[in-house]
């Protein structure tokens, strides 16, 4: 006991001499225990504190020397060193062998440095740090998922694989995705052709340039009509006795314009997947190895799959796949007697980052097909002016343009009475309005408050969520 006391006194003296803060450090590490009072002593692992007893003691004992080590510096002062995480008991006896007190010694990892680093890296976050056995427990609220990940990564440096995360992410964590599909198709086709036919007695003949088919047979199928009803066609004819001559000119120009637009909206919680399908499913027969034909369903229409992640504040990481498909009846095929449809599909898959309210064009396609075809009767088609009667020309051009634009919003739910459906403004007409006034619907005010105001708006306005 004397040697241990000497060593302890020496260590204490060195600590006091070398300590840069002197009395302040001594006051922080000094704990006073009272006789007969149960005390709990928290000791950081691999660090030491000094305990002072109100009554002089003659003997010390520690229940588990593997958790904490002790040495007496005087008959009132004890040096306690934390060695391993856990709980043990320090017992003090007086000179007569009577129990002075029991002190619970709890050794936990030292998180002082970790707390300081956490305050430096994330100064404005409300994160509480606790110890549990030999691990670290983090609790509180952080402003974004990115800062939560930084706190966990830093904690792993001090307690690898022993970090418990009880933190919550504050702020708005629901994302509404507005996707706009816009596709425009334009087509132009021009045709110019001529056919010449004649008949006289039992002789008939002709020259045909219709539909790019050239021959010296009767262009009008041995039947020269008196009138012509084809679109864009002009028929000229004259006769002398039994001889008849007919000239058929066809000039046709066709223009087409098609526009398709879809604007699906979908909301999801940060980090959760959301799917959307507006269209249908077509049964597809699939032959199996045993000869049985199974049925699989192929979806078509507007499809969206996306996973939003609120990274930091209003910054949104968006992983999404979008597709627009339709049935193509012009290229069907047959399997075991069953007709299987084909599909025209435009799809994209990407990952982007954008802020609340910002838009991004994630896909675009411009396609331009051009066809120019000219046929003529050899030599006759090269004759100036009259050569046009022996030629046919065809011109066709098809253009298509597709753009997919996405807009992300941070949203929060609102009370039900603040929302309304577009159909809330439309009500069935009364019999008098239907038969006497010819009205197929009537508009009426729906209740009071915000819902009625929304119901009176145009169909193009937003419904369902309140945007921040």
DSSP 41-82: EEEEBT-EEEEEESS--SEEEES-TTTEEEEESSSSEEEEEE
Q: Which residues contact 340 (CB under 8 A, 6 or more apart)?
A: 284, 285, 332, 333, 334
- Strands 174-200 and 163-169 come out as unpaired
Residues of the chain with CATH 3.30.300.20: 111-169
Predicted TM-score (pTM) of this structure: 0.54
pLDDT value at residue 27:
38
d(CA 416, CA 25): 60
Nearest residue to 249 (alpha-carbon basis) of 82, 378, 136, 386? 386
Size of the chain in residues: 468
Instruction: Give the Cβ contact number of residue 173 at 10 Å.
Output: 20
Phi, psi (deg, nearest 5) at residue 459: -70, -15
CATH topology of domain 40-108: Immunoglobulin-like (2.60.40)
pLDDT value at residue 454:
42
Residues of the chain with CATH 2.60.40.1380: 40-108
d(CA 86, CA 189): 87
Interval 120-146: pLDDT, tens: 888 888 888 888 777 888 988 887 777
pLDDT value at residue 444:
60
Low-confidence ranges of the chain (pLDDT < 70): 1-30, 36-38, 171-172, 196, 198, 200-233, 235-236, 241-242, 336, 389, 416-417, 422, 443-468
d(CA 233, CA 296): 49
pLDDT value at residue 213:
41
pLDDT value at residue 319:
92
pLDDT value at residue 462:
45
> 318: number of CA atoms within 13 Å, CB side?
35
d(CA 91, CA 220): 123
What are the start-end ranges of the H helices in 315-467? 431-435, 450-455
d(CA 426, CA 430): 12
CATH topology of domain 111-169: GMP Synthetase; Chain A, domain 3 (3.30.300)
pLDDT value at residue 206:
59
């Amino acid at each position: 006991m004397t040697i241990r006391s000497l060593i302890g006194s020496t260590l204490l003296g060195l600590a006091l001499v070398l300590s840069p803060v002197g009395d302040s450090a001594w006051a922080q590490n000094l704990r006073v225990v009272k006789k007969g009072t149960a005390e709990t002593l928290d000791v950081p692992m691999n660090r030491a504190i000094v305990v002072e007893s109100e009554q002089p003691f003659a003997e010390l004992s520690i229940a588990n020397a593997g958790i904490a080590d002790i040495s007496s510096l005087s008959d009132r002062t004890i040096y306690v060193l934390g060695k391993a995480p856990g709980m043990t008991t320090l017992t003090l006896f007086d000179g007569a062998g009577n129990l002075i007190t029991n002190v619970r010694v709890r050794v936990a990892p030292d998180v002082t440095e970790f707390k300081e680093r956490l305050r430096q890296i994330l100064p404005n976050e409300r994160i509480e740090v606790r110890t549990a056995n030999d691990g670290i427990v983090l609790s509180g609220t952080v402003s974004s998922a990115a800062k939560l990940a930084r706190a966990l990564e830093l904690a792993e440096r001090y307690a690898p694989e022993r970090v418990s995360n009880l933190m919550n992410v504050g702020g708005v964590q629901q994302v509404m995705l507005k996707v706009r599909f816009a596709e425009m198709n334009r087509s132009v086709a021009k045709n110019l052709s001529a056919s010449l036919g004649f008949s006289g007695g039992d002789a008939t003949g002709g020259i045909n340039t219709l539909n790019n088919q050239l021959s010296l047979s009767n262009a009008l199928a041995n039947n020269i009509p008196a009138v012509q009803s084809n679109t864009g066609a002009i028929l000229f004819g004259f006769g002398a006795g039994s001889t008849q001559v007919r000239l058929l000119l066809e000039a046709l120009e066709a223009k087409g314009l098609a526009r398709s637009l879809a604007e699906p909206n979908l909301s999801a919680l940060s980090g959760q997947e959301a799917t959307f399908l507006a269209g249908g499913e077509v049964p597809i027969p699939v032959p199996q190895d045993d000869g049985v034909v199974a049925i699989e369903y192929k979806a078509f229409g507007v499809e969206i799959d996306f996973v939003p992640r609120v990274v930091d504040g209003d910054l949104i990481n968006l992983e999404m796949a979008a597709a627009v498909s339709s049935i193509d009846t012009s290229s069907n095929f047959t399997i075991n007697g069953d007709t299987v449809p084909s599909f025209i599909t435009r799809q994209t898959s990407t990952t982007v980052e954008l802020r609340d309210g910002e838009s991004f064009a994630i896909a675009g396609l411009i396609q331009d097909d051009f066809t120019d075809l000219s046929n003529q009767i050899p030599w006759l088609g090269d004759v100036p002016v009259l050569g046009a009667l022996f030629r046919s020309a065809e011109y066709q051009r098809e253009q298509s343009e597709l753009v997919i634009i996405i807009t992300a919003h941070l949203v929060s739910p609102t009370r039900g009475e603040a929302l309304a459906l577009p159909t809330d403004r439309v009500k069935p007409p009364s019999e008098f309005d239907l038969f006497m006034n010819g009205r197929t619907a009537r508009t009426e005010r729906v209740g009071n408050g915000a819902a009625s105001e929304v119901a009176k708006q145009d169909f193009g306005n937003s419904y369902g969520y309140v945007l921040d």
